[in-house]
Amino acid sequence: MKISGRNQIPGIVRDIEFGDVVSSVTIEYECGTITSIITTASARELRLRPGVCVSALIKSTDVMIIRE
């Protein structure tokens, strides 16, 4: 499958909390973790569970940066 998104972070699902409508997926990657909220239907369709290899696709218009 090809996709136009270029901001891809490969990682492994470390935790997933299934909800009625949305689910929280925590992905561990080389620099830490990132959490995404996706629909539960999508999480089930992707058969997500801890240990599964995934890539997080970041759309630049949806990323905020804060200086520490």
List Cα–Cα distances, 50 to 5, 30, 66, 68, in angstroms.
24, 16, 29, 31
8-18 and 22-29 beta bridge pairing: antiparallel
Interacting residues of 50 by C-beta distance below 8 A, sequence separation 6+: 13, 14, 15, 16
Domain boundaries, the chain: 8-56
Instruction: State the pLDDT at residue 40.
Output: 96
Flag whether pLDDT at 67 surpasses 80. Answer: no
CATH of 8-56, one of 3.50.50.60, 2.40.50.100, 2.60.40.10, 3.20.20.70: 2.40.50.100
Q: What is the pLDDT of residues 26-65, one digit of tens each?
A: 999 999 999 999 999 999 999 999 999 999 888 767 666 5
Does the predicted TM-score (pTM) go above 0.85? Answer: no
Instruction: State the pLDDT at residue 22.
Output: 96
